[in-house]
Structure 1
């Protein structure tokens, strides 16, 4: 199969072999394993795309990345064998993994392009991503479909691109990094992962009887008053460097100087996005912060646990208060809401899922952020060294496009920083860029991909 991809500055052809299933290297247990009540909530019933981009390495010149990665994947699935199974849905929408050993979907491909030809496009959104991760028909479903879709695309320069689509119900960011690290270890010659995978999904099941003990404003039922504009959406990436973080820190009072870089970036995005969407002053707006719960348990969740173990408590205020108050107001809201995440909070979410039919979070006037930069996916080394880029491939999660993933990246000057993609209507995107520049004192221009593409069918 061959198809072409183009942007304003780049045209190339991808040649793909027929997709194939990669099963575990040896037979694995045939059993049914229930997901936790955090895993199978509605918000996580989606596929997340991730992309890893690697340069040529002289020491690996005799190695074929497709063969190395495919064989290592088969070996890794011996230890992570639930990934080779299929999800089934039982009574009360309960999801479970039928460990069939069928395998994950794998695509071998070649592209007649070099990494250097991509220029500044080595960041989300990737104009050619639909070619670098072919959407195999029949794999889009959550149940009864492969839990991973993998494509390895060789490039003319000797580098390659590894693109992955993950069924989010199986694991979260830290769990996925653990799986990826094990996969990379096997590619480099290990016979077993350095961290043994732990299932133990019963640790995050609802109590009997379930009881909601915390205030979950992320699950309030709210009517959406914003007009629908699905036909004119664009994605762009923006970059925060050290000078930008310093500029934001100068905007907050002394008593907030303990706040993290995450707090500053999140508060900045929330304000800029709210202004860009021109939300009425008296309307509530939400910022949901994904917070890892692993270390908040007593005792902590076991090392090797790779299931979903996070919540996304929501900071809520009115658009008027958010935009008119000093910047420190937003920073304080973000810092405070992160502190709500406790073992009891996550347990309360699990109970809420059972009591309210695994409901979806509030989508009206809501925004969500995830700090994938903490995972440092760039350091996943299959033998070709660190990735040039490693992390989320685009904004959004499934049909909800109001999600941004913070990833590590370098700008055109070679500075290390945080890059994030955001999806907005075209006119709102221009306003967002203006607000973003204004907040940073016009010292940093928004860094976008070489081709901002229109997403007209979502």
Structure 2
């Protein structure tokens, strides 16, 4: 095993049967317009995968791959009755906007085999071992599923979702429902709500002007600067500079280190959460990495946090029951961010950085913010828009060396509940090399349920190298030992 936590050897995926799984009930074809918050997402696919050791129903009875696939397909077929949107297709309407055609087109289901054991997979480096191998490439539709048998008898169950249709909360809802359907004795969750009218704009439209600092119409985007690209004269292809190329890695962060970061972030009497403290530390690492190559005091650094608006928009009904927002399927996200000079982020105490994170998150974590955001999108239609942290607008051309990253809260990831009937997964993770110039980080709970985190990190090569050399005791490359596989 190599120093990075995996076997490091190449392996080939042997693809087997590929079929389309659809809901068994006839469905009347209909259109489902995307909500204004869905429209803030570009056409991106997000992957999620679950690794299982030798599947068993009892301590002595091992399930074969064929039986596992049969359970997955049968449960998926039934789950699509309630989650019919996942069996549809995204198409353009007459205005050029994406809409969901609910036609029960179905979900592509791929069977595969790889001649490598689970404990030998270099999961620290998912760009090589997961991308295009264990996580399927979605060619059509909204969802694709792949079940991969490993040499040791383990199974990897992976999905690829269209992010315009589902955020992480929605993905988790579906995954839990799918598992519960497979285990018929388990209680079934409430069916999802596709009532996008819950996010209808108000009349008259009303929003805080500060949203213009958070979001931007794509018509105002600044084109990629030429100096970020170089041409390979022999191959006649355009490529990014090596240090600009974003890499994906999986790290293991212990509960003890998270507590240390939180104590340091709260040293001034503030009350930062673990996520805010971790994000502040990571922001400092990323900012400091740019100081090594750039000593310009004007260089800026951005840090964003994904905020889920469901609990903010939720209100109590007549019988003190929550509104359908709790089971709403779709995107209910905002990406507030802070922007500071790199030198400030590096030289100020960690508690100061954590306070900055807390302040910009708190401003967006309100019902009014999300209602305003729905109205802001309506005001700018039909021109699509994006969060500013993902891009560079014309009027804000940044200095070289500027950094940007977004942290998404993955602690609700349902690892404990993902037992289809053959045991809990030994690892679960998102895989989301999203193509934005901003980095992306998703902390998730360890499958050991001990307070540790598994952290998916997607950052430029130079930033990854800096973090690896300057914070090795915090960010530990994920190895089989962390998953009790040795």
For Structure 1 versus Structure 2, the TM-score category normalised by the shorter chain is 0.7 to 0.9
2:339 maps to which residue?
316
Q: Give ranges in structure 1 of 5+ residues lacking alignment.
A: 1-6, 140-144, 438-442, 451-458
Task: Select which of 103, 108, 131 maps to 2:133.
Answer: 131
1:70 CA displacement:
1.3
Is the partner of 2:412 in helix, strand or coil? Answer: helix
Tell me the TM-score normalized by structure 2. Answer: 0.80
- Structure 1 residues 82 and 421: alpha-carbon distance in aligned structure 2, compared to 1, 3 A threshold: closer
Is the partner of 2:28 in helix, strand or coil? Answer: coil
1:88 CA displacement:
1.9
1:112 CA displacement:
2.1
2:14 maps to which residue?
15
Is 1:343 the equivalent of 2:367?
yes
Counterparts of 1:212-227 in structure 2 under 5 Å?
212-213=207-208, 215-216=210-211, 217-219=213-215
1:370 maps to which residue?
408
Q: 1:302-327, CA deviations, whole angstroms, 9 ceiling, x for partnerless residues? A: 23212211211112222222111111
Is 1:116 the equivalent of 2:119?
yes
2:171 maps to which residue?
176
Is the partner of 1:250 in helix, strand or coil? Answer: helix
1:284 maps to which residue?
300
- Distance in 2, matches of 1:184 and 1:102, equals 22
- Structure 1 residues 44 and 436: alpha-carbon distance in aligned structure 2, compared to 1, 3 A threshold: farther
2:309 maps to which residue?
293
**Contact 1:184–1:382 under 8 Å retained in 2:** yes
- Structure 1 residues 190 and 92: alpha-carbon distance in aligned structure 2, compared to 1, 3 A threshold: farther
1:192 CA displacement:
8.7
1:336 CA displacement:
1.5
Q: Give ranges in structure 2 of 5+ residues lacking alignment.
A: 1-5, 230-239, 316-321, 393-402, 481-486
How many residue pairs align between the two structures?
426
Is 1:203 the equivalent of 2:241?
no
**Contact 2:268–2:351 under 8 Å retained in 1:** no
1:406 CA displacement:
1.1
1:35 CA displacement:
1.5
Is the partner of 1:405 in helix, strand or coil? Answer: strand
Q: 1:74-103, CA deviations, whole angstroms, 9 ceiling, x for partnerless residues? A: 111011111111112224443321111110
- Distance in 2, matches of 1:109 and 1:160, equals 10
1:87 maps to which residue?
90
- Structure 1 residues 193 and 87: alpha-carbon distance in aligned structure 2, compared to 1, 3 A threshold: farther
- Distance in 2, matches of 1:416 and 1:192, equals 26
Mean CA deviation greater in 259-268 or 237-246: 237-246
Report the RMSD for the aligned CA atoms in angstroms: 2.8
- Distance in 1, matches of 2:435 and 2:475, equals 29
**Contact 1:197–1:304 under 8 Å retained in 2:** yes
Task: Select which of 319, 322, 328 maps to 2:351.
Answer: 328
- Distance in 2, matches of 1:62 and 1:282, equals 60
- Structure 1 residues 45 and 208: alpha-carbon distance in aligned structure 2, compared to 1, 3 A threshold: farther
